[in-house]
């Protein structure tokens, strides 16, 4: 798991931007690298653990009002 990269779709990307975890505007390989790097700060052994949470928040439109920046 430590060598995986976060799957980036529109929901994960938008949620990550709202939370201040992703600065890049495009959902491309550079964005995957940036977001995965930020998530490795939280959980180096499994940065992809946050995939479902980021996706679910975006799909359900339930973004918290607090940012992690």
pLDDT score at 13: 94
Is 68 domain-assigned? no
- Strand, helix or coil for residue 46: coil
**What's the number of domains the chain is made of?**
1
Is 67 domain-assigned? no
Domain that holds residue 26: 10-59
Q: What is the arithmetic mean of pLDDT over 27-54?
A: 95
Is 21 domain-assigned? yes
Is 5 domain-assigned? no
What CA–CA distance (Å, rounded) separates 60 from 66? 17
Residue 56: pLDDT band with limits 50, 70, 90: confident
Residue 21 in tokens: 């975890």
Is 41 domain-assigned? yes
For 50, counting Cβ atoms within 10 Å of its Cβ (0-12 exposed, 13-18 middle, 19+ buried), the class is buried
Is 36 domain-assigned? yes
Q: How far apart are the first and last CA of the chain?
A: 25
Is 25 domain-assigned? yes
Is 3 domain-assigned? no
CB 14 within 8 A of CB 60: no
């Amino acid at each position: 798991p430590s060598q995986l990269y976060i799957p980036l779709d529109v929901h994960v990307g938008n949620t990550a931007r709202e939370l201040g975890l992703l600065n890049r505007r495009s959902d491309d390989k550079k964005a995957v690298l940036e977001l995965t790097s930020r998530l490795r700060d939280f959980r180096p052994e499994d940065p992809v653990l946050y995939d479902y949470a980021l996706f679910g928040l975006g799909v359900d439109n339930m973004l918290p009002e607090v940012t992690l920046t």
